[in-house]
């Protein structure tokens, strides 16, 4: 993993002063970055295999059980079939997702399964916490939820911020809340979910990104996946811009995790290309970039099958079972 972002002791108002993000300009820049890229099937396959290693394979349903979490862990450990990987001349044992992501109550199921599979040191266990997805619980209960998830075996915590603090401009309160969450996380990596689709505008997205990083977020994450608007490339571009500025000023590298609505191979490649162009090759690693996804992996496996065989993929051949 990349080193932890310690954050800063005192709120730096200069990082969010006089910020004004133009939506049309951002959309145009995104279009210029991804529209001109024409890749061969071979290079697309390479990008997609990279994408697989950056996935936080996720289940966040009200009907989650021990058995479907166990299946999720198995798929995380073996995301692409060995036969398919052989066509790309790759050792299938080195291809696995970055993490599994579950509710706090299901962390123990993930931990026990990965330990039994001897993958506990290879695949991280991420847990959403702090009143997911709304972030509207009292601070005391949100902090206790972090402690519980860590106690159960999580080594990454995906917190969710209180969006009302962004919408009412209470930046210092937001900073202090996230800083308390960071203190509870300690040496555990903390990802801050901004719920960008509920922040009103791109200026708020930029400012919330910066405040979360100042408070010690190791990753900033677009969405819970429960909002009507989730991960979009314009949100990602604004967040990457904030990451770059924070890195230049304080020297700490913060990761980016788009989540929610990323379902196709084309989506994944566009995100990876944008990150490469904006932040550089160092961010093309699970240490600094993740996809929060559930359905994306299936589409990637279908695409890899088609590139390798020239045949249309049959969904039945790629179940998680």
For residue 195, the domain's CATH number is 3.20.20.70
Residue 289 located in a structural domain:
yes
Residue 107 located in a structural domain:
no
Marked catalytic residue, from 162, 257, 267, 287: 257
- Asked if 161 and 209 touch (Cβ cutoff 8 Å), the reply is no
Marked catalytic residue, from 179, 221, 267, 299: 221
DSSP labels for 34-99?
HTT----HHHHHHHHHHHHHTEEEE---TT--HHHHHHHHHHHHS-S-HHHHHHTT--GGG---SE
Marked catalytic residue, from 56, 109, 158, 267: 158
How confident is the model at residue 40, as a pLDDT?
76
Q: Which residues of the chain have pLDDT under 70?
A: 1-3, 35-37, 92-93, 315-321
Q: Write out the E strands in 84-150.
A: 99-102, 124-128
Q: Which domain holds residue 233?
A: 13-40+126-318
Residue 229 located in a structural domain:
yes
Residue 300 located in a structural domain:
yes
257 an active-site residue? yes
Domain count, the chain: 1
Q: Structure pTM? A: 0.94
Burial zone of 198 (CB within 10 Å; 0-12 exposed, 13-18 middle, 19+ buried)? buried
Residue 308 located in a structural domain:
yes
Residue 85 located in a structural domain:
no
75 an active-site residue? no
Residue 207 located in a structural domain:
yes
Residue 149 located in a structural domain:
yes
158 an active-site residue? yes
Place of tokens 């603090």: 165
């Amino acid at each position: 993993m990349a080193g932890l972002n310690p954050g800063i002791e005192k709120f730096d108002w200069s990082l969010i002063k006089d910020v004004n993000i133009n939506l049309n300009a951002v959309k145009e820049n995104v279009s210029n970055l991804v529209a001109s890229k024409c890749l061969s099937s071979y290079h697309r396959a390479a990008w997609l295999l990279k994408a697989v290693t950056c996935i936080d394979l996720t289940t966040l349903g009200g009907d989650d059980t021990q058995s479907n979490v166990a299946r999720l862990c198995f798929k995380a450990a073996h995301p692409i079939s060995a036969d398919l990987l052989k066509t790309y001349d790759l050792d299938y044992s080195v291809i696995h997702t970055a993490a599994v992501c579950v509710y706090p109550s299901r962390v123990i199921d993930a931990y026990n399964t990965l330990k039994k599979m001897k993958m506990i040191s290879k695949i991280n266990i991420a847990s959403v916490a702090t009143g997911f997805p709304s972030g509207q619980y009292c601070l005391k209960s949100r902090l206790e939820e972090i402690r519980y998830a860590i106690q159960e075996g999580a080594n990454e915590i995906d917190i969710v911020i209180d969006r009302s603090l962004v919408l009412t401009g209470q930046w210092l309160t937001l900073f202090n809340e996230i800083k308390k969450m960071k203190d509870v996380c300690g040496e555990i990596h903390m990802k801050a979910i901004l719920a960008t689709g509920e922040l009103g505008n791109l200026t708020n997205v930029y400012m919330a990104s910066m405040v979360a990083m100042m408070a010690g977020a190791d990753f900033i994450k677009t969405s819970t996946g429960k909002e009507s608007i989730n991960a979009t490339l314009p949100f990602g571009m604004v967040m990457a811009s904030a990451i770059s500025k924070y890195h230049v000023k304080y020297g700490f590298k913060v990761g980016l995790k788009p989540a929610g609505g990323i379902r196709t191979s084309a989506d994944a490649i566009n995100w990876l290309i944008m990150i490469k162009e904006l932040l550089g090759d160092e961010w093309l690693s699970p240490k600094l970039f993740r996809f929060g996804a559930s359905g994306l992996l299936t589409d990637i496996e279908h695409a890899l099958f088609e590139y390798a065989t020239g045949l249309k993929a049959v969904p039945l051949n790629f179940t998680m079972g």
